[in-house]
Amino acid sequence: MDELLLLLAKKGALHTPIRLTTVELGSMMGMSQQNASVRLRSLERGGLVDRAGGTIMVTPSGLAALKERFLLLKRLLEPGHMLLRGKVVTGFREGKFYMSLPGYRSRIGKKLGFVPYPGTLNLELLPEFVEKRVELRSIRAIRISGFTRGKSSYGPIDAYVCRVGGIDGAVIFPRRSQHGLSVIEIIAPVYLMGELRLRKGSAVEVEVFTGR
Do residue 86 and residue 71 come from a single domain? no
Model pTM above 0.85: no
Do residue 100 and residue 203 come from a single domain? yes
Contacts of 57 (CB under 8 A, 6+ apart): 13, 16, 17, 18, 49, 50
Do residue 60 and residue 93 come from a single domain? no
Do residue 111 and residue 199 come from a single domain? yes
Element spanning 160, H or E: strand 157-164
Which CATH number goes with the domain that contains 191? 2.40.30.30
**How many domains does the structure of the chain reveal?**
2
The range of the structural domain enclosing residue 200 comes to 79-209
pLDDT tens, residue by residue, 35-71? 999 999 999 999 999 999 889 999 999 998 888 787 6
Question: Average per-residue pLDDT in the chain?
Answer: 89
Query: Cα(184)–Cα(168) distance, rounded to whole angstroms?
Result: 16
Q: Cβ distance 125 to 183 under 8 Å?
A: yes
pLDDT tens, residue by residue, 146-171? 988 888 888 999 999 999 999 999 99
Choosing from 20, 53, 75, the residue where a domain stops is: 75
